Amino acid sequence: MGAPVMIPKPTYEAVSTLGLEGRSVIVTGGTRGLGLATARRLVAAGCDVVLTYAHDGAAADTALESLRGLKGTAHAVRGDITDPDSLPELLRTVIERHGRLDVFVHNAATFHPMQALAADLTGVRADLSAALDPLLGGAPLIAEAMAGGPGRIVAVSSTGAQSVVPRYVSLGIAKAALESAVRYLAAELAGRGIAVNAVAASKLAKAGGPPVDPKVVEHLVARIPAGRLTRPEDVADAVALLCTDEAAWIHGQVLTVDGGTGLAA
């Protein structure tokens, strides 16, 4: 096997719009990490994106500043998406601006590291609530906001939903439940022209944070056919593809974004 082709990070000022110009979008947990990368990809495609966040107003301001100059527009709205009162107000904001909602990306999550034999059930319930409540509790309102045209719901999952990751049991269970909810919602919403799918991300390369042992990174990369760790931008591109008109006949699927890691024995 030859050396992998190293594809540079995208420059979002010049990426394809994928026919998404003018779409109204909500990205939960959209002010940092994978959520921000997804928001950036969709703003670059010409969408009007609302980013939700729970606490950190400074991070929201920084996120909005980083999106300036792209083709679309971005706004940040504070609110705990697991609060039943939060989503109706959020949807009202979008409908007042656009008349309807086109895309709902459920990225917000909580993470309580733990081992299965030392499970903190309070943490497990919190992770499950963050994964399920916005979709299962909010699906009727989201569907109503998308009425009158095609809609897209994309949930951000993790390969940890199917594989065992150390100290990941709580979020792994939550993501597995989320993927199941995606299938059930897809079956009930397909007839309304709303496609519900998920994107499962593998271990992400992160900028900043505590340093990672280069040997650990080398070991991880050695198992990836594409030759590098997954970037948030890789996952964001997959989310954007599921939002296109061409993805209308994809329902209830989990698209794995891992550079081929899952192919290895």
Largest Cα–Cα distance of the chain, in whole Å?
54
Determine contact, residues 127/112, Cβ cutoff 8 Å: yes
CA distance 105 to 154: 5
Helix/strand/coil for 198: strand
CA distance 222 to 224: 6
Please list the alpha-helical segments (H only) found in 119-168. 121-132, 139-145
Chain position carrying tokens 């107000």: 89
Q: Which residues are catalytic?
A: 168, 175
DSSP state of 223: T
CA distance 239 to 247: 11
- The secondary element (H helix, E strand) that includes residue 184 is helix 169-189
